[in-house]
Amino acid sequence: MQTFHRSNIVVFCCLFFRQPGASQQFSVLTCSRGDEIYSTFGHSAIRYKDSMQNIDWVYNYGLFDFQDPNFIPKFCRGKLDYMVGKETMNDFMGQYVYQQREVKEQVLNLQPSQRDSLLSFLEWNILDENKYYRYDFLFNNCATKIIDVIEQNCKGVQMKFYEEEDKKTFREHIHSNAENSVPFIDWGMDMALGMPVDKKSTAREYCFLPEFVAKSMALCQNNGQALVSKEYVLVPETPRIRSSWAWLWSPRTFGFIIFIIMIYIIYKPQAWSNLFYGLFFLLLGIGGLVIGFEWFFTEHSVTKNNLNLLWLNPLFIFYSYAIFTKKDWRWMKRIVQISLCLALIAAIFKVQDVHSATISLIFAAFIMNSLITNKETIN
């Protein structure tokens, strides 16, 4: 109750002592992508400025407690709570200036009653009992919250969402943002995400990405006028120079190397061939445990119905044991063969879209299994 009382005082002071109209403004801030995994897709926030009261706050829905000892388990199980917080504009901008990431500001053309309603909600929302929300990578994140908050608290605003001519799936949007900056993270996400992300996104669903929040804001209307009155670039983007050798450190290169090793073993069998086969299928099996856990034992909606479980199959752990010990498990060979055939069919006919490096590994696993069967490596 004490915290609630303090919040009411803050809102009361802002509303009572302000000069009508000109001194107050709300803005949407859009920040470009960063190099860390949590900043791969950029960021969105709301800025509130009152020049008469010397107030300049940023309401940030992208906060989380990384010190929480259960952070990783909660994230993996889809039970991670993010929170909204308030900080000064200078503090907010510091990291983006340091990282040389672009920050754009869109000043919103709001009526006094809309500004009052929005400010009251934001101050209520940052209270300890209200600040947490269940994070969802696609449907409830720092970007989608901006849309929801403005739409729900600024009566009269007509939302309009930016729509691309060539509609993309969620997976394609993720690739376009992460493939070049964090290629192995992008590949890992691709394997972890199931068929739900292969549906075409609606224009509103694009707004899980901050850049589409900004594009949509520019199209919105407020009682017949443009919602965005002015746009500024507060921090210019510093072009990132990508090394000409960057392609060497990529999932495609990794898949190609595995394929080359396999071809080499076919034409020139080695004493360590069995070890290579066994380790390969062991890693695929362990990957299958992760995929299976994300599908069946978490609250993530986008990791369900994941056909990567066909080639990242937990049963391959038993197959690797058979390879290492040279057990005659012909039934296991058949299971592996059927599983990999189905994975190839699903990939070729795009039942589920898969990464190009994944296709290389599926082919490699299929040929390895055929090689093991034909040469009776397990006997």
Q: What is the pLDDT of residue 326?
A: 85
Say if residues 62 and 43 touch (Cβ distance below 8 Å). yes
Which residues on adjacent β-strands are paired with residue 281?
none
In this predicted structure, the answer to whether residue 321 has a pLDDT above a threshold of 70 is yes
In this predicted structure, the answer to whether residue 10 has a pLDDT above a threshold of 60 is no
- Which 3 state secondary structure label does DSSP give 212? helix
The mean per-residue pLDDT over the stretch 151-172 comes to: 94
**Identity at 264, one-letter amino acid code:** Y
List the domain boundaries for the chain.
2-163+203-235, 246-374
Q: What is the pLDDT of residue 373?
A: 63
The mean per-residue pLDDT over the stretch 90-98 comes to: 95
- Which 3 state secondary structure label does DSSP give 107? strand
Q: What is the pLDDT of residue 262?
A: 82
C-alpha to C-alpha distances, 373 to 126, 130, 166, 362, nearest whole angstrom: 62, 60, 45, 17
Separation of alpha carbons 164 and 206, rounded Å = 9
C-alpha to C-alpha distances, 290 to 199, 215, 282, 307, 326, nearest whole angstrom: 23, 36, 13, 13, 27
What is the per-residue pLDDT across 24-50, written as a single tens digit (0 to 9) for each?
A: 999 999 999 987 778 899 999 999 999
Question: CA angle, 100 as apex, 144 and 138 as ends, to 5°?
Answer: 20
